[in-house]
């Protein structure tokens, strides 16, 4: 079934599981429409592979509207491809030219082992969240919502930090595989809000400790994470986390 008239060459990372060695394989993507998303282009290629009896390419994806953070793919050397501020599912083929060769790899980081082909294990992010990415408030023990007044600007700033989708592009973009942008977004959101004040010191110390234990690298202020973040999470969050962390290490009596 033909959809459009773009023809592309894909060089895609194939790897059976985390223990085996991977390699690039070349595929033809024929009859691609510029209106397709990058993942829909993969659907077409996989459909062709299945019909010729070959194994399709495994990749993570779910909501396909840019919010779940499941899709990954390192496309032509950039997480989520050539456009800024979007996930792979929101990248459309009109961003490429007929005849292009596109190289697609998984996120590369020791803390994100490959599961298969382009799918990686990001459970390290969940464990960082478990270490402190919350307000310890059990269901039911809260007051009326409007008892907490929060200035619009603080609320907006907290929201901007909270917009992180946990996709891991920041780690993939970083030459050190640092997770500082991800961790700092959650630390910032809660540090900016009155609800987060009580635990703010424990939170930053515990989350950073877990981040280090997971094998993420250090931050050297390159800023690639911010440039590649599909939700444009700001580097200011890292600055805020560093301040929180320093404050906590200086004043905590433990």
Partner 1 sequence: MSTSPKLNAKIPEGAMENKWTKYRSTVHLVNPSNKRSLEVIVVGSGLAGASAAATLAEMGYKVKVFCFQDSPRRAHSIAAQGGINAAKNYQNDGDSVYRLFYDTIKGGDYRSREANVHRLAEVSGNIIDQCVGQGVPFAREYGGTLSNRSFGGTQVQRTFYAAGQTGQQLLLGAYSALQRQVGMGTVQLMARHEMMDIVNIDGKCRGIIARDLVSGKLERHFGHAVLLCTGGYGNVFYLSTNAMGSNVTAAWKAHKKGAFFGNPCYTQIHPTCIPVSGDHQSKLTLMSESLRNDGRIWVPKKQGDTRKPNDIPEEERDYYLERRYPAFGNLVPRDVASRAAKERCDAGYGVGTSKMAVYLDFAANTMRYGQIEANKKGIHSASKEQIRELGVAVVKEKYGNLFDMYKQITDEDPYEMPMRIYPAVHYTMGGLWVDYNLMTTVPGLYALGEANFSDHGANRLGASALMQGLADGYFVIPYTIGDYLSEEIRTKAIPTDHEAFVKAETEVQERINTLFSIKGTKSVDHFHKALGKIMWNKCGMARNAQGLKEAIEEIKALRAEFWKDVRVTGEQNEFNPELEKAHRVADFLELGELMCTDALHRNESCGGHFREEYQTPDGEAKRDDDNFAYVAAWEYKGESNFELHKEELKFESIKLAQRNYA
Q: Which is nearer to partner 1, 148 or 246 (CB)?
A: 148
Which DSSP symbol is given to 122? -
Q: What DSSP line would sit under 14-68, residue for residue?
A: E-SSSSS--EEEEEEEEEE-TTSBHHHHHHHHHHHHHHTTPPPPP-----SSS-S
Nearest Cα neighbor of 124 from 63, 188, 177, 68 is 177
By the rule CB under 8 A, 92 interacts with partner 1: yes
Considering only 104, 158, 174, 180, the residue that binds partner 1 (CB under 8 A) is 158
User: For residue 22, what are the CA distances in angstroms to 15, 16, 74, 106?
Assistant: 4, 7, 15, 11
Considering only 14, 22, 30, 56, the residue that binds partner 1 (CB under 8 A) is 56
Q: Which is nearer to partner 1, 95 or 222 (CB)?
A: 95
Considering only 24, 25, 28, 54, the residue that binds partner 1 (CB under 8 A) is 54
Per rule CB under 8 A, count of chain residues that contact partner 1: 80
By the rule CB under 8 A, 232 interacts with partner 1: no
Q: Which is nearer to partner 1, 198 or 218 (CB)?
A: 198
* Spatial distance between the Cα atoms of 178 and 222, rounded to a whole number of angstroms: 11
CB atoms within 10 A of CB 76: 14
* Spatial distance between the Cα atoms of 17 and 22, rounded to a whole number of angstroms: 8
Ramachandran category for residue 74: left, alpha or beta (phi over 0 → left; psi -120 to 50 → alpha): beta
By the rule CB under 8 A, 68 interacts with partner 1: yes
By the rule CB under 8 A, 233 interacts with partner 1: no
In the range 96-125, which residues lie near partner 1 by CB under 8 A? Answer: 115-116, 119, 121-123, 125
Considering only 22, 43, 108, 176, the residue that binds partner 1 (CB under 8 A) is 43
- What angle is formed at CA 231 by the lines to CA 15 and CA 100, rounded to 5 degrees? 50
By the rule CB under 8 A, 33 interacts with partner 1: yes
Mark 136-155 with x for binding to partner 1 (rule: CB under 8 A) and - for no binding.
xxxxxxxxxxx-xxxxx--x
- What angle is formed at CA 159 by the lines to CA 252 and CA 81, rounded to 5 degrees? 105
By the rule CB under 8 A, 227 interacts with partner 1: no
Q: Which is nearer to partner 1, 40 or 222 (CB)?
A: 40
By the rule CB under 8 A, 70 interacts with partner 1: yes
């Amino acid at each position: 079934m033909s959809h459009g008239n773009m023809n592309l060459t894909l060089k895609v990372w194939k790897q059976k599981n985390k223990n085996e060695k991977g390699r690039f394989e070349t595929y033809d993507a024929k009859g691609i429409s510029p209106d397709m998303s990058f993942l829909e282009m993969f659907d077409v290629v996989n459909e062709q592979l299945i019909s010729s009896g070959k194994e399709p390419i495994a990749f993570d994806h779910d909501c396909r509207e840019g919010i779940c953070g499941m899709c990954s793919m390192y496309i032509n050397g950039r997480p989520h491809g050539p456009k800024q501020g979007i996930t792979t599912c929101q990248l459309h083929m009109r961003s490429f030219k007929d005849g292009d060769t596109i190289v697609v790899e998984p996120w590369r980081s020791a803390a994100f082992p490959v599961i298969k082909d382009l799918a990686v294990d990001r459970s390290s992010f969940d464990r960082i969240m478990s270490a402190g990415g919350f307000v310890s408030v059990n269901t039911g023990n809260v007051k009326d919502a409007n008892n907490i007044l929060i200035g619009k600007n603080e609320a907006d700033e907290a929201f901007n930090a909270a917009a992180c989708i946990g996709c891991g592009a920041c780690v993939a973009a970083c030459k050190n595989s640092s997770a500082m942008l991800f961790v700092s977004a959650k630390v910032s959101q809660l540090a900016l809000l009155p609800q987060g004040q009580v635990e703010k010191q424990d939170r930053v110390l515990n989350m950073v400790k877990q981040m280090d234990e997971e094998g993420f690298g250090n931050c050297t202020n390159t800023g690639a994470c911010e440039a590649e973040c599909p939700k444009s999470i700001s580097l200011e969050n890292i600055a805020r986390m560093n301040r929180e962390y320093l404050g906590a290490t200086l004043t905590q009596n433990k």
